[in-house]
């Protein structure tokens, strides 16, 4: 029986809704085809009262991605955006230059197992990373897992999780689009094929194989439950996997685990929110089948642990804003009375540490650049490891039982390089270097300092062609992040290179909220102090104008994710200071952000409108609520995509509609919406190049720069 015959009124509503959606889509298409004005966006009289304050939300209907009306609106916005971008001179020339800079052979840090080296590599002619193995240091690279045939549009990617001790079993993730969720597969290296064990699509925070490859410990997250630690015995049904840990922890928590190199100890970390301002630490002697023991549970501090031998090394900001490292002997009492401080706090931030070759390699951030030092297990300083210059160490990989280590390094104008270190002989060589067609000697990198609104001194890096003249007319592209204790340190940027090649200045601001100067710097830009982040960015722009680098009509800005929130905030607070903006995968409705996807993780960083006190400061800066009709806003392009399962694309949809309705300037407000991609990892290089091209050509057009000097 036809269900519509049972529910005739329901059938009429569906039919009428479909007609309305079709008519609406046709009207949007007609508007988009003119290329003169953006598609119309319906405004609803939606209001709610939060803690006594009436909040208008006229575009709440755009939160529903599945509705035919929203789908038609997205299609019309994409047509409108393409109708403008396609007419900008130089778009293809810019794409070619970005392709030259980005389509280069790229390798990840290798993992050595029993004389075999495992790594991911993306060739210059490839879209995606392929998992390889090299037999011996100078052996031939052998393809193990190539994701390119798995999807015709190259939206399915793979990433390497772990390899067994003998190098015979590999765990890898299979991800579709830009989603965070993935499937976990296992690959028999000798037979060159997957084995039947497969973990279902989900968020996985850790996947650690036993050294013998007979089992795997992993953390799986479910939105309605939270994170849980499981053990899977190979060649068994994953639905019967043993629950090890996690009962009672809700979806606002994160859990990570680390299995020691010898497989004896399992270390578990419970993080309270994505900023991890409180972390619990537990250890289990799994070789002896011992109980899970508590190391840390009652401290409001960040801890990151790694077991080497029978010692648990703990990096923490407990009573040390710039971090220190403790050693905990796992064969003795685990209470804090028995901890040993190995590396004390100093004037540099301990960013990370790596137990390699019987030594502790410590990566520091000092004045926002990297330095690396080697220490003995008892904390004795052994030596500093030289780096090429002003840049960033992007990771170190090695094994406690081997003196071989690999170190990744780069800077704004210096391409990504992997160095091989022999800690026993102190020898150093290049394992892999990106061959990027750029002459680094043409560019200068300078660190400057300025005063923010509250007189706090804030640093900023500037990248430019040598011989730059300060005449107040240089086009500037500013970027920043300012959140979650993440440090913005110098790293190779095709955007910076192309901008500087055209005579512009690329500026990266080290905003409060990041981790550049430790936990105090982070806390100065979170929760009720988030406005400091925006003030820092505004202060940087004002300094660049006062110092005759540029003028407001020549300043473009860009930021993604938390950086997208930054862009949204500063263009609503100081629209007069900026000419054009890229706002990518942003958070913009801060009164509702924690209701969608995994955003509850970020409440410790931002707060929640459900709390009356936190509502006040969120309401004071939430960009979506601060768009005012008639204000002359800068030109803005919003970038987002459907497969973004981290920051909900609804933010970009609602803000696009709001700004198109409100702006009093003739500067365009565009939405570039990828219906098959997102901002998480795993996107094809082609998609990355296309998106970067469209964002940058938009800025070049609006600032009258080289690649696109005239408006269409």
pLDDT digits (tens, 9 = 90+) for 29-39: 434 444 468 99
In this prediction, residue 706 has a pLDDT band, given cuts at 50, 70 and 90, of: low
pLDDT at 497 over 60: yes
Assign 129 a pLDDT band (cuts: 50, 70, 90). very high
* pLDDT greater than 50 at residue 430: yes
Q: At what angle do helices 8-34 and 68-85 cross, to 10 degrees?
A: 10
Q: What share of the chain is helix, strand, coil (3-state, %, to 5)?
A: 25, 35, 40
Task: Identify the bridge partners of residue 245 per DSSP, sorted by sequence position.
Answer: 229
For domain 107-212+221-246, the question of CATH label 3.10.100.10 is answered with no
Kindly list the distances between the CA atom of residue 604 and the CA atoms of 274, 302, 526, 536, 611, in Å, as whole numbers in the listed order: 8, 13, 9, 21, 12
CA distances from 435 to 21, 115, 471 (A): 51, 27, 35
Query: Catalytic: 561?
Result: yes
Q: Map tokens 């804090």 to a residue.
A: 336
Q: Exactly one of 154, 185, 258, 679 is catalytic; name it.
A: 679
Domain boundaries, the chain: 33-98+438-703, 107-212+221-246
For residues 258-280, give the mean pLDDT: 93
77 pLDDT band (50/70/90 cuts)?
A: very high
| Position 606 pLDDT exceeds 80 | yes
Q: What is the pLDDT of residue 295?
A: 98
Is the predicted pLDDT of residue 402 greater than 60, yes or no? yes
Question: Cα(59)–Cα(47) distance, rounded to whole angstroms?
Answer: 11
For the stretch 553-589, pLDDT in tens is 999 999 999 999 999 999 999 999 999 999 999 999 9
Pairwise pLDDT comparison (677 vs 469), residue with the higher score: 469
pLDDT at 34: 41
pLDDT at 217 exceeding the cut of 90:
yes
At 436-487, the pLDDT tens digits run 999 989 999 999 999 999 999 999 999 999 999 999 999 999 999 999 999 9
Catalytic residue at 622?
A: no
Rg (CA), the chain: 26
Query: Is there a contact between 507 and 461 (Cβ–Cβ < 8 Å)?
Result: yes
| Closest by CA position to 229, among listed 205, 263, 260 | 205
Q: Which CATH class is domain 33-98+438-703?
A: alpha beta
Confidence of residue 274 (pLDDT cuts 50, 70, 90): confident
Mean pLDDT across 271-283: 90
pLDDT band at 17, cuts 50/70/90?
very low
Mean confidence (pLDDT) of the chain: 92
In this structure, the number of other CB atoms found within 10 A of the CB of residue 341 comes to 12
pLDDT band at 414 (very low <50, low <70, confident <90, very high): confident
Q: pLDDT value at position 31? A: 40
How high is the pLDDT of residue 84? Answer: 97
Confidence of residue 6 (pLDDT cuts 50, 70, 90): very low
User: Catalytic residue among 561, 608, 622, 684, which?
Assistant: 561
pLDDT of residue 577: 98
Q: What's residue 682's pLDDT?
A: 61
The pLDDT tens digits for 306-357 are 999 999 999 999 999 999 999 999 999 999 999 999 999 999 999 999 999 9
């Amino acid at each position: 029986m036809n269900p519509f015959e049972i529910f005739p009124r329901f059938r009429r509503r569906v039919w009428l809704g479909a007609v309305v959606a079709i008519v609406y889509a046709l009207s949007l298409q007609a508007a988009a085809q003119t290329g003169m004005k953006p598609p119309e966006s319906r405004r609803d009289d939606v209001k709610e009262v939060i803690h006594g304050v009436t909040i208008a939300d006229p575009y709440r209907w755009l939160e529903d991605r599945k509705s035919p009306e929203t789908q038609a609106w997205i299609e019309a916005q994409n047509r409108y955006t393409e109708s403008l971008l396609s007419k900008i001179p130089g778009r293809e020339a810019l794409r070619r230059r970005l392709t030259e800079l980005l389509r280069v052979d790229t390798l990840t840090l290798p993992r050595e197992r029993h004389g075999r080296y495992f790594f991911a590599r993306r060739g210059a002619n490839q879209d995606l990373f392929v998992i390889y193995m090299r037999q011996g240091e100078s052996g031939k690279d052998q393809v193990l897992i190539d994701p390119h045939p798995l999807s015709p549009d190259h939206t399915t990617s793979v990433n390497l999780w772990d390899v067994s001790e003998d190098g015979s079993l590999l765990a890898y993730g299979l991800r579709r689009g830009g989603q965070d969720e993935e499937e976990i597969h296992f690959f028999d290296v000798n037979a060159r094929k997957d084995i039947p064990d497969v973990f279902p699509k989900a968020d996985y925070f850790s996947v650690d194989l036993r050294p013998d490859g007979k089992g795997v410990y992993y953390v799986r997250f479910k939105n309605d439950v939270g994170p849980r630690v499981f053990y899977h015995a190979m060649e068994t049904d994953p639905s019967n996997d043993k629950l090890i840990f996690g009962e009672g922890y809700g979806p606002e928590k994160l859990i990570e685990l680390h299995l020691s190199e010898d497989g004896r100890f399992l270390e578990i970390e419970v993080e309270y929110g994505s900023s991890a301002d409180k972390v619990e630490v537990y250890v289990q002697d799994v070789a002896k089948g011992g109980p899970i023991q508590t190391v840390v549970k009652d401290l409001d501090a960040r801890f990151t642990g790694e077991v080497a031998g029978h010692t648990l090394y703990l990096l923490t900001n407990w009573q040390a804003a710039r971090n220190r490292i403790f050693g905990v002997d796992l064969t003795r009492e685990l209470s804090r009375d028995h901890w040993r401080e190995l590396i004390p706090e100093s004037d540099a931030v301990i960013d990370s540490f790596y137990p390699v070759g019987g030594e502790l390699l410590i990566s520091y951030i000092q004045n926002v650049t990297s330095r690396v030092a080697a220490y003995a297990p008892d904390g004795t300083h052994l030596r500093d490891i030289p780096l090429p210059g002003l840049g960033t160490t992007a990771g170190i990989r090695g094994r406690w039982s081997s003196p071989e280590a690999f170190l990744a390094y780069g800077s704004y104008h210096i391409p990504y390089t992997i160095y091989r270190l022999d800690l026993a002989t102190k020898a150093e060589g290049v394992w892999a270097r990106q061959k990027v067609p750029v002459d680094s000697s043409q560019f200068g990198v300078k660190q400057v300092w300025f005063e923010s609104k509250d007189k706090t001194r804030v640093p900023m890096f500037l990248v430019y062609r040598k011989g730059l003249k300060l005449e107040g007319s240089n086009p500037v592209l500013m970027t920043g992040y300012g959140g979650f204790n993440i440090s913005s340190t110098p790293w190779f940027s095709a955007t910076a290179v192309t901008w500087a090649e055209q005579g512009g200045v690329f500026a990266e601001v080290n905003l409060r909220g990041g981790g550049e100067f430790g936990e105090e710097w982070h806390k100065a830009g979170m929760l009720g102090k988030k406005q400091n982040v925006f003030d820092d960015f505004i202060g940087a722009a004002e300094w660049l104008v006062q110092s005759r680098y540029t003028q407001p009509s020549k300043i473009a800005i860009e930021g993604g994710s938390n950086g997208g929130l930054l862009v949204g905030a500063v263009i609503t607070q100081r629209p007069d200071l900026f000419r054009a903006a890229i706002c990518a995968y942003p958070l913009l409705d801060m009164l509702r952000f924690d209701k969608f996807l995994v955003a509850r993780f970020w409440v410790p960083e931002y707060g929640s409108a459900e709390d009356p006190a936190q509502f006040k400061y969120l309401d004071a800066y939430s960009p979506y609520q601060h768009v005012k009709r008639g204000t002359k806003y800068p030109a803005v392009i919003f970038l987002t995509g459907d497969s973004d399962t981290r920051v909900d694309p609804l933010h970009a949809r609602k803000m696009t509609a709001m700004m198109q309705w409100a702006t009093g300037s003739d500067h365009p407000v565009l939405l570039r919406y990828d219906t098959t991609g997102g901002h998480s990892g795993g996107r094809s290089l082609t998609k990355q190049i296309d998106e970067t091209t469209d964002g940058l050509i938009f800025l070049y057009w609006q600032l009258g720069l080289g690649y696109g000097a005239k408006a269409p």
